[in-house]
Amino acid sequence: MISRTNANSFRKNLELYAERVNTHLKAIIDAQYKSGAPQELIKAMQYAVLGPGKRIRPVLTYASAELLSLKAEQVDSIAAAVELVHTYSLIHDDLPAMDDDDLRRGRLTTHREFNEATAILTGDALQAIAFEVLYSDHFLRKDNAAQIETIGWLAKVSGPKGMVGGQLLDIEAEKGVTDEEGIANIHNLKTGQLIRAAIMMPSELSQITKEAKTKLDEFASLIGLVFQIIDDLLETQQDTAVLGKSSKSDMKKNKATYPSVLGADKSYDRVHKLYDNSMKALDFFGKDANTLRCVADYIINRSH
């Protein structure tokens, strides 16, 4: 079982969780050499996946597993699959046809380091590998129903009713989104749904009650929106060196963000209200949810 933690030890555990998923991700990408995949494609995947990253989504997966009394190895593939899909989305989001960004995680975006066609195919490959990882996982194969539900989670939140749909709405919103409901919908789809899946997918391997699953889902949905609003705010306040990506890029491209719709002060008000409600949802679990509380604190207090 993943060891229990508290606020003082969380930073160390955050590093351990990140190191754990990084080791798993490296093994997944290295295995592609034996598959006969083109060398240039594998190099691009290594560049995109194994570079610097906060790994918040995998950390949330491990924290959820802790709450559910699951072993870390039971959710390694889930954590990796979520990060693979997240990385694919970043590669495509940075493309000239999308946000046309030059920097990601403190270095050149994949299409700048390689080329646009390779970047597109790299994203496509990572998405496919994510599902292959879930299909071939030893623990998931022990429970076919859980495996199907887990794969279903990732497919649903990655597609037109989730991340991809949110990305399209984000592009269309450059023409003008003026109300909070519209921006909340974009954020929930583009960012929130994958974070929700990172937290909820481990529940398919547990004996969690219906009420407990509802409370966990409530937390997952709220903290996903908190994450993106904080992203919006940091994008307007931090410089490029701290963010690891182009500062004030959203503003220059007329992107729909919480600060652009509500202003900074009201955006912070929304963050704290959403955060408070997410903590109320975790009250159901008592001290067993301490790691999830620590991750939520990290999300709301982060500087990049």
Query: Residue 289 domain-assigned?
Result: yes
Token digits of residue 270: 């929304």
CATH number at residue 198: 1.10.600.10
Domain count, the chain: 1
For the whole model, what pTM was predicted?
0.93
Residue-wise pLDDT for 14-56, tens only, equals 889 999 999 999 999 999 998 899 999 999 999 999 988 889 9
Q: Give pLDDT, residue 255.
A: 74
Q: Give pLDDT, residue 8.
A: 59
Q: Give pLDDT, residue 239.
A: 60
Q: Give pLDDT, residue 3.
A: 43
Token digits of residue 23: 């080791």
Q: Give pLDDT, residue 240.
A: 58
Query: Residue 2 domain-assigned?
Result: no
Q: Give pLDDT, residue 61.
A: 98
Compute φ and ψ for 12, nearest 5 degrees: -65, -45
Q: Give pLDDT, residue 303.
A: 78
Query: Residue 304 domain-assigned?
Result: no
SS3 271: helix
Q: Give pLDDT, residue 175.
A: 76
Angle 20-23-29 from CA coordinates, rounded to 5°: 140
Domain span holding position 277 = 7-299
pLDDT-flagged residues of the chain (< 70): 1-9, 177-178, 238-254
Angle 194-242-48 from CA coordinates, rounded to 5°: 50
Q: Give pLDDT, residue 241.
A: 53
SS3 260: helix
Q: Say if residues 201 and 180 touch (Cβ distance below 8 Å).
A: no
SS3 96: coil
Q: What is the DSSP letter of 103?
A: E
